[in-house]
Amino acid sequence: MRCPIRNQLNAGFLGLGSFLPPEVRTNAYWPNGFQQRDERKAFIEIDRSTDGESVALDPDIAAAMAELANDPFRGARTRHVIGDDANPSDLEAEAARVAMRDAGVLPSEIDLVMVVSLVPDQLHPSNAPAVQAKCELTRAVAWNFDLGCASVQPQLIAASALINAKVYEKILMVQSAATSRVVDLTAPVSAVMGDGATAAVIGALPDGYGILGHYSRTDGSLRDGVVYAQMVDGKPQRRWDRAIGPIRLTSLDPASGKAAGARATEFCKEACAGALADAGVSIDEISLFVCNQSLGWFLEACRRSIGVPREKTIDTFAEVGNLGAASLLFNLDRASRTGRLKDGDLVLLYSPGAGFTRTAVVYRWWARRGVR
């Protein structure tokens, strides 16, 4: 039996699940035209100001970006795309079913389902009731739980705390992205976005397993940097209830978006150091660093900034692109299913999310001997 830790939450992953829509979009889909567009004001182009001037970047970011300098697709090779007749909640329900099977849990055993949908079926209500119905979670209340791409760790923290407090016994957390529906396919950002969903069943674990430490902070002054907004005459609109135009992944303040990107390593070091300190462990004790993959250079820059060797990371960006809120659990699920994790390993989970939140968790892995 492991000794209890000060901040120990003896709850965590009982099962994981991922689902990618079957349609695959390769780089051959894009004409060469978007490569020549003037994108200096785009929020993803952090090496230039909105005036087009070169910007000095953190050395770790610059080194990671240099590896992709000649690649207009920024490291992406393939990405999965939701079908025209599918709803994002269909992807979420599929991932949820996989997670429940993996956990050996029946739908009737789920007490609560928490869902984040970066592109929901409709504006309101959220996709949580749709997942509850489609998965026949007859006992479950359905919550929308949305911190953008940084949603997994807060979902995990909240679910573990609720289970420790004996409010609920089994909680299903779900994440999805269907960003192909809200990107301008003539813009370079479209090449890095993928669609997919992930899920996890959270329940009680043996002593010593689960969350050991966590850290989260929000800087709301950066909230306009990355948004979904209606476009009218090529300009994003702040009032969604007045404008009539397509919803797009865009920015109301490109300078804020660029600033958040340029501070990527600063935010990563802050959050990871906070979680490690909360857990009372060092970075050298971490067996695997699992990170959101918003752009092809992001994981590389983050792992450099905190001193994690490349062999302690998992990188699926070339295969699936940016899966938004689902990116983190997709990588964790892949690591688990490919034998990258063993019982008792310490995992460091880090994500930033639009809004702007950065969050990290130190987690002791429970391998369920004989199952995985």
For residues 71 and 169, the model is more confident at 169
Indicate if the pLDDT at residue 92 is higher than 90.
Answer: yes
φ/ψ of 116, rounded to 5, equals: -120, 125
What is the CATH topology of the domain spanning 210-364? Peroxisomal Thiolase; Chain A, domain 1 (3.40.47)
The structural domains of the chain, with segments of one domain joined by +, span 210-364
134 burial level (CB within 10 Å; 0-12, 13-18, 19+): middle
Note the pLDDT tens digit of each residue in 258-282: 888 989 999 999 999 999 999 999 9
Q: Distance between CA atoms of 330 and 199, rounded to whole angstroms? A: 9
Question: What pLDDT, on a 0 to 100 scale, did the predictor assign at position 338?
Answer: 96
Instruction: Quickly state the pLDDT bin for 344 (edges 50, 70, 90).
Output: very high
Instruction: Quickly state the pLDDT bin for 348 (edges 50, 70, 90).
Output: very high
Note the pLDDT tens digit of each residue in 281-310: 999 999 999 999 999 999 999 999 999 999
Indicate if the pLDDT at residue 371 is higher than 70.
Answer: no
CA contacts within 13 A on the Cβ side of 372: 22
Q: How far is CA 122 from the centre of its chain?
A: 21
Kindly list the distances between the CA atom of residue 211 and the CA atoms of 288, 323, 341, 344, in Å, as whole numbers in the listed order.
15, 24, 16, 12
Indicate if the pLDDT at residue 234 is higher than 90.
Answer: no
For residue 228 the two structure tokens come to 């979904």
> Once rounded to an integer, what is the mean pLDDT over residues 187-210?
94
Note the pLDDT tens digit of each residue in 23-51: 999 999 987 766 655 565 677 777 777 77
Question: What pLDDT, on a 0 to 100 scale, did the predictor assign at position 219?
Answer: 92
Question: What pLDDT, on a 0 to 100 scale, did the predictor assign at position 372?
Answer: 39
Instruction: Quickly state the pLDDT bin for 96 (edges 50, 70, 90).
Output: very high
Name, of 90-94, 240-244, 261-265, the range with top average pLDDT: 90-94
Question: What pLDDT, on a 0 to 100 scale, did the predictor assign at position 3?
Answer: 44
Phi-psi region of 74 (alpha: psi -120 to 50; beta: other; left: phi over 0): left
